[in-house]
Amino acid sequence: MPRNSRTSSPMPLVTNFHGRDFNSPNDVIVSRKDGSIWFTDPSYGHEQEFRPRPKLPNVVYRFVPETGELRVMADGFVKPNGIAFGVGEEVVYVTDTGACGGDGTKDPSK
């Protein structure tokens, strides 16, 4: 993360999408091919009461620091969480930790 040269504090690269604050940016990967930054943005922070009510859907974003371009790359998730590139960065894997709910008392596979 870039740092402010005066205070040595981290400086965010991007904080919102079209003026709406992100939900709870979670996992991040950086492309070795082009330096783009991919991240998941589930709404867990609101559910855990340390972030405001979401104003954006639970999606995966791609940010290009060189140009400032920010795009939604994948949607339709309950709670996108973990993210990783496949070999060669041709595929992006995203876990959806909200897709299977429960309270932990029963095994959903039975």
SS3 content of the chain, % helix, strand, coil (to 5): 5, 35, 60
Mean per-residue pLDDT over the chain, rounded: 87
- What's the pTM value of the predicted model, to 2 decimals? 0.82
H-assigned helices in the chain? 44-47
CA distances (Å), origin 19, targets 15, 16, 67: 9, 6, 18
With H, G, I as helix, E, B as strand and everything else as coil, classify residue 92. strand
Report whether pLDDT(28) > 60. Answer: yes
Read off the pLDDT of residues 61-80 as tens digits, 9 standing for 90 and up.
999 999 999 999 999 999 99
Give CA–CA dist 5/44, Å, rounded.
32
| One-letter amino acid of 32 | R
Separation between Cα atoms, residue 39 and residue 50, nearest integer Å: 19
The half-sphere exposure of 94 on its side-chain side, counting CA atoms within 13 A, is 25
| Mean pLDDT along residues 8-17 | 87
